[in-house]
Amino acid sequence: MGDGSHQSLPDLTGKVAIVTGGHTGLGFGTSIELAKHGARVYIASRSAAKFKDAEREVALECPEADVRFLELNLADLNSVMCLPYEETVEGFEMQIGVNYIGHFLFSRLLLPMLQITAEKAVKGSVRVVNVSSDEHTKLAPKEGIISSDMNMKNDFSVWARYGHSKIANVLHLKELAKIYSNILALSLHPGTVKTNLSAGPISSTPLYRLIKPIVELGAPGPRKGAANILFAAVSPNLKLESDNGAYLLPIGKVSAPSKAGSDAKMAEDLWEWTVKALMSRGYE
Ligand SMILES: NC(=O)c1ccc[n+]([C@@H]2O[C@H](COP(=O)([O-])OP(=O)(O)OC[C@H]3O[C@@H](n4cnc5c(N)ncnc54)[C@H](OP(=O)(O)O)[C@@H]3O)[C@@H](O)[C@H]2O)c1
């Protein structure tokens, strides 16, 4: 697993995985390896056509793979990440809405099932993994989560909003690990990986096109680049007792997130804020 070739992934027969954005980029790199190693993989995507393409690609490498479509639109809009200011249908700024709040609600709805499964499954095998970014240490506001202005509409760049959503990914699972101690919750930085992610920065900051080759110099593609996500999802080296709520740098290195990303009180407050924000919009 550590070399990115994914040869040493364990047999995943009988396991079920849900991968958001699993038809493309890092999500696809994750879906295909999990499926090739025997897991049933639900590719959660807003596009049935894109799922079909992904399904075909998986079948070419592994005809017996079990991949299924789960329709999921985290924002009801068309884009994500480092975009000019937009809002989701529920009035959240797009990046915090899709990267964090959509995923918070999705995992919250799955928690009852995850808990029942955790009671019967091998300890530490039921997991929630958030793909954060090391950019949370550099781009987010220094004070961390700005709960008084979660949309950060004025006075902040798209980059700051991205970093903010990525700190939220870290704090989300820190708190989930505390509340649901039988579910192994992990956030991570995947490394710099060549994916469609750069479409966002290019549309919001056209000059990014110029520095993109430098940023991506030597970066792997999404198949190899999924190694840290796969490690977090299935490595038996990660333990419920010692690693719950951890943040991983590639590959599989338990590391400290930013100061704000390590703040237990901030994690608790963010959880509370999110539950209230969702309840006020009719989501329990
Ligand atoms: N690539 C890197 O270097 C890097 C570094 C650090 C962190 N990350 C993180 O890795 C994660 C995956 O990114 P990626 O690099 O694989 O980028 P990507 O290729 O652009 O993939 C993004 C995925 O998110 C899906 N998505 C966007 N909006 C959605 C919505 N409203 N509802 C449901 N799905 C939606 C996209 O689906 P559509 O095809 O329908 O748009 C796509 O599958 C992100 O959280 C990113 O922040 C990436």
| pLDDT tens column, 162-202 | 999 999 999 999 999 999 999 999 999 999 999 988 888 78
- Label residue 76 by pLDDT band (50, 70, 90): low
In the chain, which segments carry CATH 3.40.50.720? 13-72, 79-279
- pLDDT of amino acid 172: 98
Q: Considering 15, 42, 100, 162, which one is annotated as catalytic? A: 162
The model's pTM: 0.95
37 burial (CB, 10 Å; 0-12 / 13-18 / 19+) is: buried
- Label residue 56 by pLDDT band (50, 70, 90): very high
How far does residue 197's CA lie from ligand 1's centre (Å)?
6
According to the CATH classification, is domain 79-279 in 3.40.50.10470? no
Is residue 52 annotated as a catalytic residue, yes or no? no
- pLDDT of amino acid 276: 97
Tell me: pLDDT of 19 over 80: yes
Cβ(94) – ligand 1 distance below 6 Å: no
Is residue 166 annotated as a catalytic residue, yes or no? yes
Sheet holding 16-20, edge to edge: 16-20, 40-45, 66-71
Pocket test for ligand 1, best of 18, 80, 173 (most atoms within 8 A of CB): 80
- pLDDT of amino acid 197: 87
Across the range 127-134, mean pLDDT stands at 98
Question: Mean pLDDT in the chain?
Answer: 93
Contacts of 54 (CB under 8 A, 6+ apart): 22, 23, 24, 28, 31, 32, 43, 45, 67
- pLDDT of amino acid 82: 64
Across the range 64-92, mean pLDDT stands at 80
Across the range 109-137, mean pLDDT stands at 97
The CATH-assigned architecture of domain 13-72 is: 3-Layer(aba) Sandwich (3.40)
- Label residue 5 by pLDDT band (50, 70, 90): low
Give me the DSSP letters along 101-115: IIHHHHHHHHHHHHH
The answer to whether 261 and 171 have CB atoms below 8 angstroms apart is: yes
- Ligand 1 atom closest to Cα of 76? 31
Across the range 134-162, mean pLDDT stands at 95
Contacts of 33 (CB under 8 A, 6+ apart): 6, 9, 223, 226, 230
Cβ(257) – ligand 1 distance below 6 Å: no
Pocket test for ligand 1, best of 24, 93, 189 (most atoms within 8 A of CB): 24
